[in-house]
Homo-oligomer: A and B are copies of this chain.
Amino acid sequence: MARRRYVEAKMRETARLFGFGEVMTPTFESTELFVARSGEGIIDELYAFEDKGNRKISLRPELTASVMRFYVNDMQNLPKPVKLFYFGNCFRYERPQAGRYREFFQLGAELIGAPSIESDAEVIALALATLKNLGLEDVVVRIGHLEIIKGLLSDIGIEGGEQKHCMAYIDKHDYSGLDDYLTGQKKKTKAKKLLDIIELTKDQYGKADKKVIDYAEIIAPGITRTVNGLNYLKNVMERLGTYGFKDYRVDFGVARGLDYYTGMVFEIDAPSLGAEKQICGGGAYTLAGLFGGQEVNSTGYAFGFDRIMLALEKSGVNVPHQNLSVYILPIGDEAKIAAIKILSELRNAGISADMDLMGRNMSKAMKYAASINADKVILIGDKELADGSLTVRDMKTGNQEKVPISDIKDYL
């Protein structure tokens, strides 16, 4: 928990540096809210139930829907943009994976109501700065745009459910599955441009070279939606470069699972995690209208907090941990009273301190102090009381020193 709270505070601090303000929403919402966002199918994955008043409620599976409901209810009249972040637990009734439990934590951000290129760049910049501030360097950022592929699919008459089906293959980077599907639908020959463009960033880690955008423009010159998507992506990349971020990949295969994404989409992987490596997902979306508000540009993302904790561990990133500074061992009844007084004095001075409550003897107390990683042990017995001094033992070096009681605060 000390490690988790440290990481949480670091992430919160980065959001504050970017001018994002924290919000919190209830743990459960009307089931309706999540169905509106993701369709009836979502119920299978929810902890959905009826409360004692027969209201259908669900533990939240993610927080964007809740934050946008909050925005629509209470924040529509605020001057734009509204920059929000959140940290909270979510619940999904699904098979647990590595770093993905049935109850899990997300830390995410939403930028609402600014022009979209500006929003997209600012939001990606926040995600990248957060990871940088955590010291998690070994990450791959993949940026795409939904219109690039959707334009090509529409161009060859793949729309609606068929298009969703194809996007699902792409989302999983399952290109041979896509190939088979297109062959089965007798679309394979017509889909040459699509397959050529996919070929450009087919590598699961995308392509670092921004020239893929130029190549893609050469492949699909007449297809307006695709070309617009490519140009848009180029603008976001340029702006991100101005922010000082250049270390990302282009990946036309970022499709995200959900319908409400509208344009730019991005994902971040921590390759050290192996197969289940995604630690962040986000993009541009519209949801306010769906929840009864005025439609508005939004861009957001969510970090999988538990996976970030795992990634930090696997990447050997040290998270500072504060040991207990002092463990006090009084020997004898009079010493106990003196010990409590010193204990209180140290704690009041902001020095973490504990004392023996068990009546342990010296050797057992030393073992206990070592087991709780105390930095120092203070011994008070009759001798110490008589000469008004304390014996302070450094648990790392084993050195012992006599320190006058009145100097102990300064000494520590």
Contact = CB atoms under 8 A, between A and B. Distances in A.
Given A16-B352, A19-B353, A357-B114, A89 B5 contact: no
A95 interface: no
B17 A93 contact: no
Contacts of A275: none
A396 interface: no
Nearest to A126: B347
Interface in A28-69: 28, 47, 49-52, 59
A115 B17 contact: no
Interface in A335-394: 337, 340-341, 343-344, 347-348, 350-354, 357-359, 367-368, 371-372
| Residue of A52, A93, A368 with most partner-chain B CB within 10 A | A52
B24 A1 contact: yes
A241 to B, nearest CB: 10
Nearest to A8: B5
Contacts of A367: 79
A276 interface: no
Given A17-B347, A79-B371, A23 B1 contact: yes
Contact of A1 (B17, B21, B351): B21
Contacts of A9: 9
B5 A51 contact: no
A91 interface: yes
Given A21-B1, A118-B357, A354-B19, A244 B103 contact: no
A50 B327 CA distance: 46
Contact of A340 (B1, B93, B243, B344): B243
A18 interface: yes
B49 A358 contact: no
A318 interface: no
A224 interface: no
Interface residues of A, number: 64
A263 to B, nearest CB: 16
A272 interface: no
A239 interface: yes
A377 to B, nearest CB: 13
Interface in A209-224: none
Contacts of A173: none
A163 interface: no
Contacts of A269: none
B129 A347 contact: yes
A5 B1 contact: no
A368 B122 contact: no
A322 B5 contact: no
A244 B337 CA distance: 11
B1 A358 contact: no
A119 B1 contact: no
A200 to B, nearest CB: 28
A243 B344 contact: yes
Which 3 pairs of residues, A with B, have the shortest CB-CB distance? A19-B354, A49-B49, A1-B22
